[in-house]
Amino acid sequence: MKRVFVSCFLLIAAFTTHAQEKVDQAMVSKIKKEGFDNSKVMDIAFHLTDANGPRLSGSPGLLKASNWAKNEMAKWGLTNAALEPWGEFGKGWELQKSYVAMTAPYYKPLIAYPKTWTKGSNGLKNAPILLIKAKDSVELAAYKGQFKGKAILVYRTDTLVPTYKADASRYTDEELDKLAAYQLPQPSQAPADTAELRRRREAMQRRGAGGPNLANLIKDFATKEGAVAILSVSPRGHEGTLFVQGGGSYAPEAPENPLDIMLAFEDYMTFCRLANAGIPVSLDVDVKTAFQTRDTKGYNVVAEIKGTDPKLKDEIVMLGGHIDSWQSSTGATDNAAGCAVMMEAVRILKTLGVQPRRTIRIALWSGEEQGLLGSRNYVKNHFADPATMKLLPDHEKVSAYFNIDNGTGKIRGIYTQGNEKVKDIFSAWLAPFHDLGAKTVTLSNTGGTDHQSFDAVGIPGFQFIQDAIEYNTRTHHTNMDSYDHLQADDLKQISVIVASFVYHTAMRDEKLPRKELPQARGAGGGRF
CATH code (residue 502): 3.40.630.10
Long-range Cβ contact pairs of 184-192 (< 8 A, separation 24 or more): 184/418, 184/420, 184/443, 191/445, 192/444, 192/445
* Residue 135 CB neighbour total at 10 angstroms: 10
What residues have CB less than 8 Å from 44, skipping those under 6 apart? 72, 339, 340, 343, 344
> How would you write the pLDDT of the chain (528 residues) with one tens digit per residue?
333 333 344 344 444 444 589 999 999 999 999 999 999 999 999 999 999 999 999 999 999 999 999 999 999 999 999 999 999 999 999 999 999 999 999 999 999 999 999 999 999 999 999 999 999 999 999 999 999 999 999 999 999 988 889 999 999 999 999 999 999 987 655 555 554 555 555 554 444 333 348 999 999 999 999 999 999 999 888 889 999 999 999 999 999 999 999 999 999 999 999 999 999 999 999 999 999 999 999 999 999 999 999 999 999 999 999 999 999 999 999 999 999 999 999 999 999 999 999 999 999 999 999 999 999 999 999 999 999 999 999 999 999 999 999 999 999 999 999 999 999 999 999 999 999 999 999 999 999 999 999 999 999 999 999 999 999 999 999 999 999 999 999 999 999 999 999 999 999 999 999 999 999 988 766 555
Separation of alpha carbons 60 and 432, rounded Å: 42
Would residue 429 count as lying in a domain?
yes
Would residue 476 count as lying in a domain?
yes
Q: What is the pLDDT of residue 524?
A: 65
The answer to whether residues 300 and 284 belong to one domain is no
Would residue 11 count as lying in a domain?
no
Separation of alpha carbons 299 and 502, rounded Å: 24
Q: Are strands 282-292 and 125-132 parallel, antiparallel or unpaired?
A: antiparallel
The answer to whether residues 34 and 149 belong to one domain is no
The answer to whether residues 347 and 434 belong to one domain is yes
Q: What is the pLDDT of residue 237?
A: 84
Q: How far is CA 263 from CA 234, 322, 333, in A?
A: 8, 27, 22
Would residue 192 count as lying in a domain?
no
The answer to whether residues 81 and 101 belong to one domain is no
The answer to whether residues 34 and 134 belong to one domain is no
Q: Could you tell me the maximum CA-CA distance found in the chain, to the nearest angstrom?
A: 88
The answer to whether residues 85 and 102 belong to one domain is no
Q: What is the pLDDT of residue 238?
A: 86
Interaxial angle between packed helices 337-351 and 41-48, expressed in degrees from 0 to 180 and rounded to the nearest 10: 140
pTM: 0.91
H and E: helices and strands count for the chain: 14, 16
Would residue 167 count as lying in a domain?
no
The answer to whether residues 282 and 301 belong to one domain is no
What residues have CB less than 8 Å from 371, skipping those under 6 apart? 204, 207, 208, 527
The answer to whether residues 154 and 285 belong to one domain is yes
Q: What is the pLDDT of residue 526?
A: 56
The answer to whether residues 306 and 286 belong to one domain is no
Q: What is the pLDDT of residue 186?
A: 75
Q: How far is CA 183 from CA 19, 367, 447, 493, in A?
A: 24, 33, 17, 28
What are the φ and ψ backbone dihedral angles of 2, each rounded to 5 degrees? -60, -45
Separation of alpha carbons 212 and 220, rounded Å: 10
Separation of alpha carbons 474 and 376, rounded Å: 28
The answer to whether residues 412 and 280 belong to one domain is no
Query: Residue 137 belongs to a domain with what CATH number?
Result: 3.50.30.30
Q: In what order do the strands lie in the sheet with 260-263?
A: 108-109, 92-104, 282-292, 125-132, 151-154, 229-233, 260-263, 112-114
Separation of alpha carbons 104 and 243, rounded Å: 26
Q: What is the pLDDT of residue 162?
A: 86
3-state secondary structure of 312: coil
Domain tally, the chain: 2
The answer to whether residues 442 and 487 belong to one domain is yes
The answer to whether residues 100 and 249 belong to one domain is yes
Q: Which domain holds residue 500?
A: 23-89+296-377+400-507
Beta strand residue intervals within 325-393, DSSP E: 359-365
Would residue 115 count as lying in a domain?
yes
Q: Are strands 316-322 and 125-132 parallel, antiparallel or unpaired?
A: unpaired
Report yes or no: 78 and 350 within 8 Å, Cβ to Cβ.
yes
Among residues 290, 313, 337, the one where a domain terminates is 290
